[in-house]
Chains A and B, each alone.
Chain A
Amino acid sequence: MRARGVAVKVDTRTVAVCAGLLVALAAIALLTITSVGARLTVAGAIEAAGGGGTLRERFVLTELRLPRLVLGALVGAAFALGGAVFQSLSRNPLGSPDIIGFTTGASSGALAAILLFGAGPTGIAAGAIAGGLAAAGVVYGLASLRGGGMTRIILIGIGVSAMLLAVNNFLISRARLDAAVAAAAWLTGTLNGRGWDQVLLVVAVLVVVGPVLLSYGRRLQLLELGDEVARGVGVRVGAVRLRLVLLAVAAVAVATAAAGPVAFISLAAPQIARRLTGSAPLQLLPSALTGAVLVLAGDFAAQWLFAPAQLPVGVVTGAVGGGYLAWLLSREWRKGRTA
């Protein structure tokens, strides 16, 4: 009975946090619609949403704002889900796809597809997924040569990323200027010029991956407590872990393919969600909602701060996220904890 009481208590706070995050999402969306680019009034937006209003209002809402907002939220959720699974399985806040080379590999793959083969959206997605898997494979393969756990994986990730960065810079320096600008914006992670096509792509994958991942949430928390604990309560550790990794990779890959590698969402969202909910194990749903809020807030800041220029959202998340990572590291180290 007591255990059940605790569970209910945790759930109350989590539910409250999730509700708060949803309210925040709606608020940022409204703010974006009313104060960025071709602004709409609140009344105009509501009318246009109901099929009324002027042609211009309907166009701005359904073709410009909505796809961008929906895509931003989905991409943020996907990055955060992938990051939460990776961090949970590695029991390390740094075990996110940003750090272990997956994201840089996906960038190289997509760049090669854009600049060398002139690929369209499907080709870019395929290139990103192939590149990400290849880089992650190399990092894990090298790490498994020597063991040494997460620290070695992270350091190998830094080395592989630095080399791929040189390759990316080289590819960009050789492309035609317009293609290079587009590629560089993509590399930073951007929602500019995205439409319902990309939304459909992400929805198609997340509809499958999201619910399955959420249904694994409990087992993920048990795994985070340790393999023995999980095995003790009947979790088939090896099989569950493999499935979780594949699902997480799919989520991050499809988000990368749609919007580019938006920096640091995978790393920061699960950590922020953990602090909001005050729960020790990572929780997937709050993480996903936090990721959505972070991307939409970053995109709003990128459009609003530098208007009329349309900066990629990744610029904002990269600058803020890099600072956040530095703060996180210094905090953990000051406590003398091992991060």
Chain B
Amino acid sequence: MTSRRTIGLIIAVVALAAAAMLSLALGTKSIPAGTILDALRPGALPGPGQAEDFQIVRDLRVPRTVLGLVAGLALGLAGGVMQALTRNPLADPGILGINAGAAAAVVLAIRFLGVGSVTGYIWFAFGGAAAAFTVVYFLGTRGRSGASPQRLALAGAAVGAALLSVTNAVALLDVSTFDRYRLWVVGSLAGGDLDVAASAGWFVAAGALLALALGRPLNALALGADSAQALGAHVGRTRLLTAVAITVLCGAATAAIGPVAFLGLAVPHAARAFVGPDQRWLLPYCAVLAPVVLLVADVVGRLVVRPGELEAGLVTALIGAPVFLAIVLRRRIGHL
């Protein structure tokens, strides 16, 4: 069993490398493989007629590939720990309104505090994500019969709708804010640069280490709070640390590429089908597979409507929503 999982993880890493390569190689303009490899060597100078190709690879394709890796890893892991914490197969940063919280905070910061750079508004994204998750979590888990998947999804929809109104209000007050907002809210890897990826990357790295370290206590939590307590797990501490990890991962990813929905939902399900419910294996799979999906979605978006592009956020929604619907249709559903 373990060797099967190890081999699977190695294959997933190879797939990730392949997806990254595709993301560097494919795009609106066809560039010969040799030129791409030359451009990737630091310090290499473009040969005659290669200047434009070098620029495309270095300034456009490398940054968006790195962004895809960082944001994909963050959203996949966030979805994985979120589903474990809430014991809820419908948990997703988009469905639970967390991305909406980060988005509202970012737009407020841009409009009223004049924050312009990702390094500035990433903190607001954390604040918004934390606030939204806290509200939805408490709303969805209070009451006698405790949390149910349906309740959390509904609470997320309610809070998300209210936050979306706030975001719309702010964006519509000012045309230039709206213009930036509408390009960001689709969820695109294009247009970012390495600075954005780097500043988000540090937070994602920290959040990812925390999330991966939580595998064992989350396994205990899966048995229910009482059993976990009896097994000696620190239930309160685990929940708090998981919430911190979710906030950091979702906030950083949303600040970097916009509110991308469904990636954090679909990937953990696909991974669980292969490795089973053990979080110590499941979470690494999520971390590796989610960037694969995001990068492939981005590449597909670049190719299907050449010379135009479809944003990665649109493609993941079109792929992920059917997964959500399939889960809803397959599960036995009780009352809310």
Asked if B41 lies at the interface with its beta carbon under 8 angstroms from chain A, I say no
* CB within 8 Å for A326 and B175 given contacts A152-B333, A318-B164: no
Is B144 within 8 A of A336, CB to CB? yes
Is A325 within 8 A of B333, CB to CB? no
Q: How far is the CA of A321 from the CA of B172 in the complex (A)?
A: 19
Chain B, interface SS category: helix
Residue numbers in A under 8 Å from B159 (CB-CB): 322, 326
Give the contacting residue for B169; candidates A161, A311, A334; CB below 8 A.
Answer: A311
Is B162 within 8 A of A329, CB to CB? no
Q: How far is the CA of A166 from the CA of B317 in the complex (A)?
A: 6
Is B143 within 8 A of A333, CB to CB? yes
Residue numbers in A under 8 Å from B151 (CB-CB): 329, 333
Proximity string of chain A (252-266) to chain B, C-beta cutoff 8 Å, 1 when within and 0 when not = 000000000001100
Most B Cβ at <10 Å: residue of A145, A167, A333, A338: A333
Among listed A74-82, A172-180, A214-222, interface-contacting one: A172-180
Which residue of chain B has its CB nearest to the CB of A138? B325
* CB within 8 Å for A173 and B158 given contacts A306-B173, A338-B336: no
* CB within 8 Å for A323 and B162 given contacts A146-B329, A338-B336: yes
* CB within 8 Å for A173 and B164 given contacts A326-B135, A326-B158: no
Asked if A319 lies at the interface with its beta carbon under 8 angstroms from chain B, I say yes
Asked if A105 lies at the interface with its beta carbon under 8 angstroms from chain B, I say no
Proximity string of chain A (276-308) to chain B, C-beta cutoff 8 Å, 1 when within and 0 when not = 000000000000000000000000000000100
Asked if A163 lies at the interface with its beta carbon under 8 angstroms from chain B, I say yes
A178 to chain B, nearest CB (A): 9
Asked if B153 lies at the interface with its beta carbon under 8 angstroms from chain A, I say yes
Q: How far is the CA of A329 from the CA of B186 in the complex (A)?
A: 30
Is A170 within 8 A of B311, CB to CB? yes
Is A156 within 8 A of B161, CB to CB? no
Is B172 within 8 A of A312, CB to CB? yes
A5 to chain B, nearest CB (A): 37
Asked if B145 lies at the interface with its beta carbon under 8 angstroms from chain A, I say yes
Q: How far is the CA of A159 from the CA of B320 in the complex (A)?
A: 9
Q: How far is the CA of A88 from the CA of B2 in the complex (A)?
A: 54
Asked if A188 lies at the interface with its beta carbon under 8 angstroms from chain B, I say yes
Asked if B154 lies at the interface with its beta carbon under 8 angstroms from chain A, I say yes
Within 8 A of B (CB), among A173-191: 173, 177, 180-181, 184-185, 187-188
Residue numbers in A under 8 Å from B332 (CB-CB): 148
Which residue of chain A has its CB nearest to the CB of B260? A166
Within 8 A of B (CB), among A121-176: 142, 145-146, 148, 151-152, 154-156, 158-163, 165-167, 169-170, 172-173
Is B162 within 8 A of A142, CB to CB? no
Which residue of chain A has its CB nearest to the CB of B261? A162
Q: How far is the CA of A158 from the CA of B262 in the complex (A)?
A: 12
Asked if A330 lies at the interface with its beta carbon under 8 angstroms from chain B, I say yes
Asked if B119 lies at the interface with its beta carbon under 8 angstroms from chain A, I say no
- Chain B contact residue count (CB 8 A cutoff): 55
Is B172 within 8 A of A151, CB to CB? no
Give the contacting residue for A160; candidates B142, B168, B325; CB below 8 A.
Answer: B325
Give the contacting residue for B162; candidates A160, A170, A311, A318; CB below 8 A.
Answer: A318
Most B Cβ at <10 Å: residue of A161, A167, A322: A322
Proximity string of chain B (247-287) to chain A, C-beta cutoff 8 Å, 1 when within and 0 when not = 00000000000000110000000000000000000000000
Is A322 within 8 A of B158, CB to CB? yes
Q: How far is the CA of A269 from the CA of B332 in the complex (A)?
A: 32
Q: How far is the CA of A314 from the CA of B168 in the complex (A)?
A: 9
Asked if A94 lies at the interface with its beta carbon under 8 angstroms from chain B, I say yes
Q: How far is the CA of A318 from the CA of B162 in the complex (A)?
A: 5
A289 to chain B, nearest CB (A): 24
A15 to chain B, nearest CB (A): 33
Is B172 within 8 A of A184, CB to CB? yes
Residue numbers in A under 8 Å from B206 (CB-CB): none
A191 to chain B, nearest CB (A): 14
Residue numbers in B under 8 Å from A173 (CB-CB): 182-183, 185-186, 311
Give the contacting residue for B333; candidates A151, A166, A315; CB below 8 A.
Answer: A151
Is A329 within 8 A of B169, CB to CB? no
A243 to chain B, nearest CB (A): 29
Is B154 within 8 A of A160, CB to CB? no
Residue numbers in B under 8 Å from A180 (CB-CB): 178-179, 182
Which residue of chain A has its CB nearest to the CB of B185? A169
Is B333 within 8 A of A148, CB to CB? yes
Asked if B122 lies at the interface with its beta carbon under 8 angstroms from chain A, I say no
Q: How far is the CA of A24 from the CA of B332 in the complex (A)?
A: 46
Q: How far is the CA of A321 from the CA of B166 in the complex (A)?
A: 12
* CB within 8 Å for A333 and B186 given contacts A151-B334, A163-B318, A318-B162: no
5 cross-chain CB contacts under 8 A: A142-B325, A158-B154, A169-B313, A181-B172, A333-B143
Given known contacts A154-B336, A156-B325, A333-B143, what 8 new A-B pairs fall within 8 Å (CB)? A151-B333, A151-B335, A154-B150, A184-B168, A306-B173, A309-B173, A326-B135, A326-B159
B-side interface residues toward A, CB under 8 Å? 90, 94-95, 135, 139, 142-145, 150-151, 153-155, 157-166, 168-169, 171-173, 175, 178-179, 182-183, 185-187, 261-262, 310-311, 313-314, 317-318, 321, 324-325, 328-329, 332-336
The 4 closest A-B pairs by CB, nearest first: A322-B162, A318-B165, A166-B317, A163-B321
